Amino acid sequence: MNKFLLLIMLPLTMGLHAQDPQKKAVHQILDQWHEAADNADIETYFGLMGEQSVFIGTDAME
């Protein structure tokens, strides 16, 4: 029974490690963007946005 469960579970967990390269790239950029926001690094924060991006802040004065 244990071998059967292992044979079933092993292929299912292997798929979790095989992420799409595009998804990894998006996650990496978002992590950099969030880190820049956390560190108040304005150059990096806005530098990671596309040229046609529109920033909509949470403060009415922004």
In a domain, 10, yes or no: no
Residue 49 forms part of a structural domain:
yes
Tell me the C-alpha to C-alpha distance, in Å, between residue 39 and each of 33, 36, 52. Answer: 10, 5, 24
* Residue 5: inside a domain: no
Average pLDDT, the chain: 83
Of the pLDDT bands very low, low, confident and very high (cuts 50, 70, 90), residue 57 is confident
Q: How far is CA 36 from the centre of its chain?
A: 14
Q: Which domain holds residue 44?
A: 20-62
Q: pLDDT tens digits, residue range 17-44? A: 556 888 889 999 999 999 999 999 999 9
Whole-angstrom CA distances from 20 to 15, 23, 25, 62 are: 10, 5, 9, 36
Residue 13 domain flag: no
Is residue 4, in this structure, part of any structural domain at all?
no
Contacts 24+ apart (CB under 8 A), 30-35: none
Residue 15 covered by a domain: no
Q: Is residue 31 part of a domain?
A: yes
Number of domains in the chain: 1
Tokens of 56: 């909509």
